[in-house]
Amino acid sequence: MKFFLIGDKETVLGFSLAGVEGQVAESETEILKILREMRRRSNIGIIMITERLAVRVQPFLKSMLLQKGGPLILEIPDRQGSLRQKKMAEALVLAALGMKI
């Protein structure tokens, strides 16, 4: 199985140098369409998506993440750096524990 990347032009291009297949997307509908398509392909193990795009489809990503089976979802920073407010995993954990670790 392999990676698949959804991002902006430069990020997709950069990762293509390492042999990672990717697609450029912008709008919510485009992203959702790609996600649904890639979910069906059995040779994709991990779908990477830049944080900037991920914020537009948060609920859908979350539902994909919680299903067992199907590709894993990973949000990555693009060249403009990591979005501070995005820390889904950590925020969830802290909320679940009810305290700061």
Determine, following the binding rule CB under 8 A, whether residue 55 of this chain makes contact with other proteins. Answer: no
Specify whether the backbone of 26 is left (phi greater than 0), alpha (psi in -120 to 50) or beta: alpha
Determine, following the binding rule CB under 8 A, whether residue 77 of this chain makes contact with other proteins. Answer: yes
Determine, following the binding rule CB under 8 A, whether residue 79 of this chain makes contact with other proteins. Answer: yes
CB 22 within 8 A of CB 16: yes
Angle (deg, nearest 10), helices 58-66 and 28-40: 20
Which residues contribute to the site for other proteins (CB under 8 A)? 1-3, 10-11, 13-21, 45-46, 48, 65-66, 68, 72-74, 76-79, 81-82, 88-90, 92-93, 95-97, 101
